[in-house]
Structure 1
Amino acid sequence: MTNIKPVSDLRNYTEVLNEVRENSPVYLTRNGRGEYAIIKLEELDKLKSTTGLYNSFIWR
């Protein structure tokens, strides 16, 4: 299930951070529009690696 919260919920950031799980980011909205995503660092590293690998094949 997608976890979407208003950015104002960061006033209680501990609760929001506790909801972040692997393959389950927390999306934050500002004025009703998507603005940010909070993901675990391991997922960010995987995403960067995958993107770098993809780009190395595309630009050859």
Structure 2
Amino acid sequence: MPNIKPISDLRNYTEVLKEVSFNNPVYLTRNGRGEYAIIKLEELDKLRATVTFRNSYKF
């Protein structure tokens, strides 16, 4: 189940960051709509590598 929180929860950002783990991002909403996602740096690096690989491969 996705971890969705209002952006105002960032007032206590340490608690929000404790909930972030690999393959378990925290989604932040503003006015009830999705606005941001917090992910681990390792996951971001993996996503970037995947995008780079896919963009370099010519079909």
Same fold (TM over 0.5): yes
Q: Say how many residue pairs are matched.
A: 59
Query: Which amino acid in structure 2 is aligned with residue 55 of structure 1?
Result: N
Q: Percent identity?
A: 75
TM-score (norm 2): 0.95
Report the equivalent of 1:24: 24
Query: In structure 1, what is the Cα distance between the partners aligned to 2:45 and 2:30?
Result: 26
Q: Measure how far apart 1:57 and its partner are.
A: 1.1
**Moved segments of 4+, more than 3 Å:** none
Q: Which runs of 5+ in 1 are unaligned?
A: none
Normalised to the residue count of structure 1, the TM-score between the two structures is 0.94
Q: Which residue of 2 aligns with 1:42?
A: 42
User: Cα offset for 1:45?
Assistant: 0.1
Q: Which runs of 5+ in 2 are unaligned?
A: none
